[in-house]
Amino acid sequence: MSATDDAELARRVEAIEQLLVEKRWLRRESIDAVVKYYETSVGPMNGARLVARAWTDPAFRSALLDDATKAAAQLGIGGPQGEHLRAVENGPGMHHVVVCTLCSCYPWPVLGLPPSWYKSAEYRSRMVREPRKVLAEMGLTLAEDVTLTVWDSSAEIRYFVLPQRPPGTEGLPAAELEKWVTRDSMIGVGLPTRPEGTR
């Protein structure tokens, strides 16, 4: 195939869609449903529910660390690229970060579709070679005595980070804590942050 720009790519995709509809493999509405699903129903808010629940419910935390696929399914979170989920937990002196050097593996049901930078050649090449430098550039400077574990998603296990609960959030209910949990904190390139407009 020879498509080289968006207009051409769009034409080509439309051609395939027409053919599949004519051959009765699918309806356009089926594709609409998938598109809408990825636009509205998966995203970091799903992961935030898992994390906030783990912070407030020790039994759920254990279940999540033991079998994240099963624990996520309990909250209605699952689907393509979530067949084998695994949560890795940050702790004192221990930080985790996730990358896929071979393609762009990412836990879709938990975090949504991966952002462009996660799929970029720069992130994929550097995160295994100079992860502290990349993290510092992204605003997360780790002390040297913190062990940094980089998870390269080279098989079908989809990793995400269970960040540490931030100090000062004691007593907050899970619904409030969810707002602290960012996409970046679950990839491991950031930490949970105070939601805007709160103190």
Partner 1 sequence: VKPRVHDLGGKAEYFGPVRSAISEPAFHQRWEGRVLGMFVLFAGTWRNNIDEARDVMEQLGPQRYFSLPYWSRWLSALEVALERHGVVAPGEVDARAAGQAPAASGSRRPTWVRRLYGRVTMPLLFREGPLPRWVGWIYASLYNYRRAAAGPPRFKPGDKVQVRDAEASGHTRRPGYVRGRRGTITRHVAAMVLPDAHAIGKRESGQHLYSVAFDGEELWGPSAEPNVVLQVDLFESYLTPV
Catalytically active residues, by annotation:
100, 103-105
Q: Is 102 in the site for partner 1 (CB under 8 A)?
A: yes
Binding residues with partner 1: total (CB under 8 A): 96
Q: Is 140 in the site for partner 1 (CB under 8 A)?
A: no
What is d(CA 20, CA 28) in angstroms, rounded to the nearest whole number? 9
**Segment holding 184, helix H or strand E:** helix 183-187
Q: Is 113 in the site for partner 1 (CB under 8 A)?
A: yes
Q: Is 149 in the site for partner 1 (CB under 8 A)?
A: yes
51, 69, 177, 192: which one binds partner 1 (CB under 8 A)? 69
57, 62, 120, 175: which one binds partner 1 (CB under 8 A)? 120
C-alpha distance across the termini of the chain, in Å: 55
Q: Residue 29 Cβ, how far from partner 1 at the closest point, in Å?
A: 6
**What six digits make up the tokens of 74?**
């309990």
Q: Quick one: which of 85, 121, 81, 76 has its CA closest to 102?
A: 121
Q: Quick one: which of 22, 51, 71, 11 has its CA closest to 181?
A: 51
Q: Is 75 in the site for partner 1 (CB under 8 A)?
A: yes
Q: Is 37 in the site for partner 1 (CB under 8 A)?
A: yes
**Segment holding 17, helix H or strand E:** helix 6-22
Q: Is 62 in the site for partner 1 (CB under 8 A)?
A: no
The residue among 56 and 126 lying less far from partner 1, judged by its C-beta, is: 126
